[in-house]
Structure 1
Amino acid sequence: MLRELTIRNLAVIAQVTVKFHDGFHVLTGETGAGKSIIIDALALAAGGRGSAEMIRHGNDRADIEALFDLPPRHPVWETLRKLGVEADPEEALLIRRELQAQGKSSSRINGQSVTLSMLREVGEHLVNIHGQHEHQSLLRTDRHLEWLDLFAGEEISGQKEAYSRIYQQYISVGKERRELEQKSRQGMQMLDLYRYQIEEIEQASLKVGEDESLQDEKRKLTHAEKLSDAVAEAHELLYGSKGLAAISRALNRLQEVSKVDPVALQPLVEQLQSAYYGVEDAAYQLRDYRETIEFNPARLEQIDDRLDLIHSLKRKYGESIELIVAYKLRIQTEASQLENSDELLKSLTEQEAHLLSELQSLAEKLSAVRRATSRVLAAQIEQELAALQMNRSVFEVKLTSGALGVSGTDAAEFLLSTNPGEPPKSLAKIASGGEMSRVMLALKAIFARIDEIPVLVFDEVDTGVSGRAAQAIAEKLSLLSRDCQVFAITHLPQVACMADHQYEIAKQVTENSRTTTSVTELEKADRVEELARMLGGVEVTEKTRHHAQEMLALAESRKNA
């Protein structure tokens, strides 16, 4: 339940802190006193939309704090856990919302910053606000099936889980099949190309490093004559009179005199001997190398053809032989998948058909439960409407069947006829505000025990009713407050007298000529005065006071009964 609400600088409210209790609360006061501001503040605390215009003039921000006391089993704790908000179910839940003049807002739950969407998700478990024309989820056609299933409870929840699981599989398999079909259509056009490319690359019998090796060989063949002439000349120079013969003569001369000065000359002798053998070896290598030089125009032509082929493949498939080979491996895999796609497509088609058959069977079971549930729900709502002085009304849950969807094949809509002989129509087409108020109250009376929302707010839902209908609404609100905390803004004394707690909303002008709104919880004597004002208007007489006392006493006896 809502234990305390603090409002600072919101509209004409400077600052108020209001404590609340179990049961049925009414907010009363003159028109324009600011009763709806209390509801607006609660809506903001539950994640409602705010704006800078709501901030009291002359202030840079508005603050709202709402303190809730909830049982540990309440679903809001699980929602907080999923959102990553630390909260102890054994402690109170504090929500703070701040509006800034710059248009920004901030939200905190138990001191932890949360986004507005997170706050709204939490608020959906805490507060449900109903106005004369603000019917929220109960009167939204797209939510009627959800409410019907909620009313069915455990009887349908297991079947819905099974259906949802199979439905997700069906969607997944169908998506995979369609993607494969599209890929197959495109792939069949590519398969011949892949096969041609694979064959072209395989026939080339490429070897890594082959192109560099061929370039080396081509360079030698192209310059064979130049190589041969240079090597022959070098061999002649080394092996002729200017080469080995000259070194040999120099070596003989030094050997002859080395004994004269062995310290200086013997190292030179050894150096020349080494040079002689080195030059001799180089001469032999040049001779051998010259014999390997090939003059082969036919081989050169073959190399050119091979390099042209490799260059052509590089342009098509990759900048190197390694990349060409990698490309071939990739398209071999894709070609294999395409060649086997018919078998896979057949398997997916069969699987999809099987899942569809299973889904249709589960959808029929869901529909059967919903049809039975809709009759029970309609009967209970008609019972509630009868208690609200609409005993000749006909309520109907219209189920229509369509394509398979997330919730089966069903769509639901709540229909109502308030006049005998008239067919039931959509709730949205009900013209009378008083009738709409009672329909909404009847729905809420049934679902309040199911949705576990602890705080219900009714903003002038008694508009357009009077007499016995007003008394019936008051009694229904009082009964509702046994399952949850109920708040109502009302101008009807019949409703106000049935409350367990009454708050007067009043507007005053301060010494500095500023208007501000106050909220005061009324004791019994004050309630008599307020009810007398509601009964008699501007002038309160002893007669109206006596009437107010009688109403309070009668209301107390009705609640006790």
Structure 2
Amino acid sequence: MLQELSIKNFAIIDELYLSIEKGLTVLTGETGAGKSIIIDAVNLLVGGRGSSEFVRHGEKKAEIEGLFILNDESHPCYNRANEFGIDIEEGMIILHRDISITGKSVCRINGKLVTISILREIGSTLIDIHGQHEHQELMNETHHLRLLDQYGGREIKTALDNYRVIYKQYEQIASKLKGLSENEQQMAHRLDLIQFQLQEIQKANLQIDEDIILMEEKKKLMNFERLFDSLKTSYGALQGEQKGLDWIGLVMSQLETTAEIEPDYEPLLESVSNCFYILEDAASTIRNDLDSLEFNPERLNEIESRLNEMNQLKRKYGGTLQDILEYSSKIEEEIETIINRESHIDKLQITLAQLQKDLYLEAKQLSDLRKKWSKKLMNAIHSELKQLYMDKTVFEVKFIHSVEEYKNEMDPPFRKDGLDFVEFYISTNPGEPLKPLNKVASGGELSRMMLALKTIFSKHQGITSIIFDEVDTGVSGRVAQAIGEKIYQVSEHSQVLCISHLPQVAAMADTHLFIMKETIDGRTRTKVKTLKLEEKINEVSRMIAGVEITDKALEHAQELLQLAYAKKFT
């Protein structure tokens, strides 16, 4: 959920900090007080379109920051964040956005700079903002199939996963077949190119780690003089009269005499003797190395030439010799495929035909499950609409395209999600034909329709917070009461922030925020106050009566709050 929200220098807000609780939070206040401005700020925080006009007059930039808490480790935000290399620790994600006076935006997620598109990708998993006239996810027919799949839960997910396993194989084979079926002239050019590349690599006769071995030898040759002098000095210090081994040999001889007199010195004699023989072996090794050392400038030139050849190949075919050899194997296989192109095309066509049959069967099973769950969804929607006094409304999940259409086709248009394309249709009045959901004209009917869908899908979408911006416009009476109760039902599954002018909705709030304007030093600014019970009664009374709060309005407000309490806790 959205736990903390900070807004600075945004429109008429100079500085505002909100700590938002779970459940239903209702924002009320006079028209123009800044309620929708707060929602505008949240919309920008999750990737909405920015403008320099949002920056408070006289300031250089507007700043918006929000802290979200994810209580579910399977929340879709984790997968999206992982795709973009964003770490989420302890279930916390912080979105931050600055908008400068020039209109430029700077976006951060958990401190990492991101583009607006990434901010929008992440933000879409956290908040769903629904305004009276906005086309939201539920109004976009391209999302309807995914929403149906979410409603079908694990049963549809398993079938869809099985379908996608085969679909991935199908895509790979289809891509290979397309590649082999391209223009013959292009194929001939490709063959000439990779044959030349393969010949060049094979001619070099590369060996794994050959460059590392040569670099070591090059280093040795380039430092030959230092190496020779160092070994010569080391040998001279050990071997010869009055040198290291002479003196240690003398010590060993004297300790032999000492040990004959006093046996306790035998261990010391053994240690010195071991050191003598080890150093004697070392001196012998150094002497042999000195005898074998030979500076060969021609060999150094050979190494330089060979390393240069390898570097040329690395620039063309890979950063390491291993990469070059792997590329060689790859194009060798490609050459064989192109030369025997017709044979490979025949094999791929047979494989593709079999995959199409398997894929169609999986698509059919997936489609059957979707149709089963679409009936359950339609019943659930009708039940919700009845509670919103739209019992005459007909809702239908219409399969615009389905598997049966492609039964006899040789090459059905398989997609990642199957062969189905569904769209939500409704008819709000008896006798009227079903129409696409996004063609509904009445604001009041649209609000109730959206609430019915939200009540069901909020359990499946995984959205952390849902914002309703005056979705109750155009309704009153018992419908307004039903809308208040329905918004509260949505808040049981997702945190809800709601701007409302309806006292019935305000009465259902778990947290009631009152938005007001004040003028200080000739500047207007927005303030937010969390209402206590008495203050909430007065605000609901104002919403009922208007400017003048009467005793009857206060009595009605208390009654609404009591009814709301009974609905929520019984």
1:514 aligns with 2:523: yes
Q: Secondary structure at the match of 1:154?
A: helix
Amino acid across the alignment from 2:548:
E
Query: Residue in 2 aligned with 1:545?
Result: 554
TM alignment of 1:324-403, pairs within 5 A: 340-399=340-399, 400-401=401-402, 403=413
CA drift of 1:57 comes to 0.8
User: What one-letter code is carried by the residue in structure 2 that aligns with 1:471?
Assistant: Q
Distance 1:94 1:531, change over 3 A: same
Unpaired segments ≥5 residues, structure 2:
193-331, 406-412
CA distance, structure 1, for counterparts of residue 388 and residue 72 of structure 2: 34
Q: Which moved more, 1:347-356 or 1:174-183?
A: 174-183
Residue matched to 2:121: 121
Deviation (angstroms), 1:77: 3.1
- Which residue number corresponds to residue 170 of structure 1? 170
- Is 2:498 the counterpart of 1:488? yes
- What is the Cα deviation at residue 367 of structure 1? 1.0
Please report how far the alpha carbon of residue 115 of structure 1 lies from its aligned counterpart in structure 2 after TM superposition.
Answer: 2.4
Query: Map of 1:152-171 to 2, 5 A cutoff?
Result: 152-171=152-171
Deviation, 1:132, is: 1.2
What is the CA–CA distance in structure 2 between the aligned matches of 1:437 and 1:473, rounded to whole Å?
A: 9
1:476-520 CA-to-partner distances (Å, cap 9, x unmatched) read: 11122122211110111111111111111111222x211111111
CA distance in 2, matches of 1:188, 1:493: 76
Aligned partners of 1:502 and 1:521 also within 8 Å: yes
TM-score (norm: length of structure 1): 0.71
Code of the aligned partner of 2:116? L
Alignment-mate amino acid for residue 519 of structure 2: V
Report deviation, 1:418: 1.5
| Matches of 1:86 and 1:533, distance apart in 2 | 46
1:165 deviates by 2.5
Aligned CA distance change for structure 1 residues 189 and 80 (closer, same or farther; 3 Å):
closer
Task: Return the offset for 1:82.
Answer: 3.2
Residues in 1 aligned to 2:365 and 2:522: alpha-carbon distance in whole angstroms = 68
1:359-403 residue CA offsets vs partner (Å, 9 max, x unmatched)? 111111111111111101111011111111111211100012263
Secondary structure (helix, strand or coil) at the match of 1:95 reads strand
Rg larger for: 1
Partner of 1:411: 421
The equivalent residue for 1:225 is none
* TM-score (ref. length: structure 2): 0.70
- 1:476 aligns with 486
**Aligned-pair distance for 1:113?**
2.4
Shift of 1:341: 2.0
- Indicate the residue corresponding to 1:37 in structure 2: 37
| Identical-residue share of aligned pairs (%) | 45
Q: How does 1:150-549 map to 2 (within 5 A)?
A: 150-184=150-184, 340-399=340-399, 400-401=401-402, 403-510=413-520, 512-549=521-558
Amino acid at match of 1:489: I
Q: Supply the distance in 1 between the matched residues of 2:176 and 2:366 (Cα, whole angstroms).
A: 27
Size of the aligned set, in residue pairs, is 422
Equivalent residues of 1:64, 1:96 under 8 A apart: yes
Distance 1:526 1:83 in 2: 46
Give the equivalent residue in structure 1 for 2:90. Answer: 89
1:68–1:94 CA contact under 8 A, matched in 2: yes
How many Å apart are 1:95 and its aligned residue?
Answer: 2.1
Structure-2 separation of matches of 1:63 and 1:333: 56
Q: CA deviation at 1:94?
A: 2.4
Q: Distance in 1 between matches of 2:156 and 2:395?
A: 22
Partner of 2:565: 556
For the 8 Å contact 2:131–2:470, the answer to whether it is kept is yes
Instruction: Return the letter of the residue paired with 2:127.
Output: V
1-structure distance, mates of 2:497, 2:143: 24
- Please provide the CA RMSD for this pair: 2.5
| SS of the residue 2:26 aligns to | strand
Deviates more, 1:465-474 or 1:108-117: 108-117
Change (3 A) 1:499 1:351: same
Deviation at 1:131, TM superposition (A): 0.9
In structure 1, the residue matched to 2:80 is 79
Runs of 4+ in structure 1 over 4 Å off? 183-191, 332-339
